[in-house]
Amino acid sequence: MIDADQVPETLASRAARLFAAFQAGDETTMGDLVGLLTPLLWHTVRAQRLDNQSAEDVIQTTWLALVR
């Protein structure tokens, strides 16, 4: 049996941990969350072949929706 401390943290589990901390009032974790997930957002948005300005708008809108 694998010990839970030996299982590597996934992107999803790290993002969930950071977001939970943000929701609990630790606003400093939002910077870490943004740094963690923005590259993934860029990859996803650019895969839709949006121009740079539209891609920036989508990413900004995504972060605003998350904070709300």
Residue type, 61: T
Which residues 6+ apart lie within 8 Å of 63 measured at CB?
34
Low-confidence ranges of the chain (pLDDT < 50): none
pLDDT at 9: 86
pLDDT for res 8: 82
pTM value?
0.74
pLDDT in the model for residue 48 = 94
Confidence at residue 2, expressed as pLDDT on a 0 to 100 scale: 63
Residues 60, 54: Cα–Cα separation, whole Å:
10
Cα–Cα distance, 19 to 32 (Å, whole number): 9
Listed residue (19, 23, 20, 12) closest to 33, CA to CA: 19
The C-alpha atoms of residue 51 and residue 68 are separated, in whole angstroms, by 26
pLDDT attached to residue 21: 95
